[in-house]
Structure 1
């Protein structure tokens, strides 16, 4: 290889290095392009008299007992029944549950009724003392009796709007 060709190769390599470094620094310090917020769910309405099924109800489970992992276990078991799984975490509030409390300000909500009928033992309806997620939240206490065989469908006694999560594929 002649000296002129070697110099040309070294100059080209140096040029690529300098350009790449400049581009990298520019990208590292540039502001990201704004991304349009996409809806996280699609609102569906179940009219009075129509069937509300478990696959339209998001359930969040909070542990108010000393049993580690019970919220996650209950959430998984509800998901097996077709419910949409929400959060599973320890009770962030001060409410104490014996068996199960369905956290709602409206015990006539068909979603709350459908979730409540899944549990054995006494289920109480009570307003939450912390900020809850969209959907139905339940508090599991130390005397949790488990799930019973129950229908995962309910004829809605009134119109109810549900937010079904959307999944956007790339």
Structure 2
């Protein structure tokens, strides 16, 4: 037998070996348990009575109920410039009769709601409807809403009731030292 006659069977044997090893490794990966680390999406922060509530403790969703494109986004950006935490921005998921600023809440006396309302001046409060579900404070802006906020609005409100806020957690980044 010469070398050329062994090349064909050796090639087939090599291919079968690769196939078997690949199948075994694939099966092992397929049946292995996944190691998943569950990380909290937010961290609870409690504010006691008498402590200040600042914009950094108030996540806000802003929805547009006007005919003006981009109004919710501009209002959200202005709130973020004041230190409020960003939430969802988009078109309003509910019908609002008000053309101005409406805050969706059952508790207008909540210090976070009072702080947010102070940024707009004239605000209407409505209870949540079935289509609005959020842990953030929901603001709906209408046709008569000015995208600019009140110039001299307060930057903190004293908590007259205990407040618990779930603040977003920044992902941990490993830094290699050199």
Q: TM-score, normalised by structure 1?
A: 0.82
Aligned to 2:137: 136
CA RMSD of aligned residues (A): 2.8
The reply on whether 1:116 has 2:117 as its aligned counterpart is: yes
Length, aligned pairs only: 168
Aligned to 1:147: 149
Q: 2-side partners of 1:36 and 1:58: how far apart?
A: 26
Shift in CA distance, 56/47, structure 1 to aligned 2, threshold 3 Å: same
Q: 2-side partners of 1:10 and 1:34: how far apart?
A: 37
Mean CA deviation greater in 2-11 or 144-153: 2-11
Q: Please report how far the alpha carbon of residue 113 of structure 1 lies from its aligned counterpart in structure 2 after TM superposition.
A: 0.5
Q: TM-score, normalised by structure 2?
A: 0.79
Mean CA deviation greater in 35-44 or 154-163: 35-44
Aligned to 2:176: none
Aligned to 1:12: 14
Q: 1-side partners of 2:135 and 2:50: how far apart?
A: 23
Q: Please report how far the alpha carbon of residue 97 of structure 1 lies from its aligned counterpart in structure 2 after TM superposition.
A: 2.4
Q: Please report how far the alpha carbon of residue 163 of structure 1 lies from its aligned counterpart in structure 2 after TM superposition.
A: 1.0
- Whether contact under 8 Å (1:64, 1:96) holds in the other structure is no
Q: Please report how far the alpha carbon of residue 169 of structure 1 lies from its aligned counterpart in structure 2 after TM superposition.
A: 3.2
Aligned to 1:156: 159
Q: Please report how far the alpha carbon of residue 104 of structure 1 lies from its aligned counterpart in structure 2 after TM superposition.
A: 0.6
- Whether contact under 8 Å (1:100, 1:123) holds in the other structure is yes
Shift in CA distance, 70/32, structure 1 to aligned 2, threshold 3 Å: farther
List gaps (5 residues or longer) in structure 2: 174-178
List gaps (5 residues or longer) in structure 1: none
Q: Please report how far the alpha carbon of residue 84 of structure 1 lies from its aligned counterpart in structure 2 after TM superposition.
A: 0.9
